[in-house]
Amino acid sequence: MLKHPLPRLDKDAELKNLLLPYCRFSEGTIWVDKISGHRIACGNSTDENFVQKLFDKEKATLAIHDPPYNFIAFQKSDLENFIKWSKKWIEITYQYLKNNSSLYIWLGADQKNHFQPLSSFIEMMSSTRFKSRSFITMRNQRGFGTQKNWMSIRQELLYYIKGKPYFNVQAEYTDIPKVLRGYYKSINGKVTENIERSKSENIRAGNVWIDIQQVFYRMEENVNGCYAQKPLKAIERIILASSKRNEIVCDFFSHSGTTLIAAEKLNRKCFTIDIDPVFCEISLRRLEKFRNEGKTGWQNSNPFADEINRDKKLKNYLKKKYNFEY
Ligand SMILES: C[S@@+](CC[C@H](N)C(=O)[O-])C[C@H]1O[C@@H](n2cnc3c(N)ncnc32)[C@H](O)[C@@H]1O
């Protein structure tokens, strides 16, 4: 049983309103970090003027975006709007990436509806100046559709480039030891086996990632109240492969601040945006928690636990609606 539970905040507007007074963000706020130079901006990623304010004269070398796509009812008009909307933030991203840069996008594919929005999104990307580079699949542990279909356990991650970006293949080894032998080759007259020839004892990540644990409530990095957290390990892998120390990594959909924390851990600067002040606040609190306690999340608690404990109205609301005890 969780000590300080918090429900999915995106589904409870009333609860979010009760938390707003505890947020340091409102529409237009740009928080600038004095320690590592990160920036957290509360606003719309498709608003060019706002994104211009966030970047000022800077540019990033890596973008990692995880837009919301669950809201689409998958009617044709909704899909068209989603793609139009996506094109806007993709074009803004292009503007704020340096000449040789990388772009990664997480996106879902509805198998009951022609793999939308992924299929239309990929089509839309072909009309931009980005070049496609890889299509990565991350394997989830939990899935759905076990009886009547292949269990759906994949998360799709698209990799695009602008120019000829840095790519560090060495950073990309997994923790999985090489177990399969074979593939003999003669080198300078000596027959060697592939494990002898290889640079690492472990296998390379490749474009199918099977070694990353999906975030769930027992993990330290879990942020209660967030519903769409990506695993830190996945974001760290992207950052290590596609950026160097001190470079700027941007993320237009911060939510729980995963990219921010990964950037902090790996000595990169993160410029991130969320339209929702509550998620901007959560991102900032997660950074503060990491700096103060070395913890990457709130396993067994939540970002607003102290306020909920003090604020009777909040406490009663959680008790009445969810039967949560504080
Ligand atoms: C799928 S979540 C991102 C999850 C994130 N990768 C993580 O690990 O926590 C999408 C986020 O985008 C935010 N969002 C939605 N529309 C936006 C917009 N137009 N501009 C900026 N943020 C937006 C939502 O508030 C939500 O927090």
Q: Which domains does the chain have, with CATH numbers?
A: 9-166+212-322 (3.40.50.150), 168-206 (no CATH)
Is the CB–ligand 1 distance for residue 44 below 6 Å? yes
What is the tens place of the pLDDT at every residue in 246-269?
A: 999 999 999 999 999 999 999 999
Dist. CA 142–CA 124, nearest whole Å: 30
- Cα separation of 238 and 57, whole Å? 25
pLDDT confidence tier of residue 173, bands split at 50, 70 and 90: confident
Per-residue pLDDT of 142-164, as tens digits, reads: 776 668 888 889 999 999 999 99
Ligand 1 midpoint to CA 129 (Å):
24
At 72, the pLDDT band (50, 70, 90 cuts) reads low
Alpha-helical runs (H) found in the chain:
13-19, 48-55, 76-95, 118-125, 194-197, 232-242, 258-265, 277-293, 305-310, 312-322
The reported pLDDT for the residue numbered 325 is: 85
- Tell whether ligand 1 has an atom less than 6 A from the beta carbon of residue 226: yes
pLDDT higher than threshold 90 for residue 40? yes
Span from the CA of 272 to the centroid of ligand 1 (angstroms): 10
Ligand 1, atom 17: closest residue by C-alpha: 275
Cα of 295 vs centre of ligand 1, distance in Å, is: 22
Tens of pLDDT, residues 275-296: 999 999 999 999 999 999 999 9
Q: Would you mind telling me the total number of residues written for the chain in this entry?
A: 326
Is 155's C-beta closer than 6 angstroms to any atom of ligand 1? no
- Is residue 133 helix, strand or coil? strand
Task: Report the C-alpha gap between 107 and 307 in whole angstroms.
Answer: 34
Does 272 sit in the ligand 1 pocket, CB within 6 Å? no
CB 215 within 8 A of CB 142: no
**How large is the average pLDDT for residues 76-105?**
95
Which tens digits make up the pLDDT trace of 204-226?
Answer: 889 999 999 999 888 999 999 99
- Give the distance (Å) from ligand 1 centre to CA of residue 145: 26
Helices then strands, counting H and E runs in the chain, come out as 10, 15
Cα–Cα dist 130/101, whole Å: 10
Token code pair at residue 97: 């990436």
Q: What does the pLDDT read at residue 187?
A: 79
Instruction: Give the pLDDT confidence score for residue 73 in this predicted structure.
Output: 52
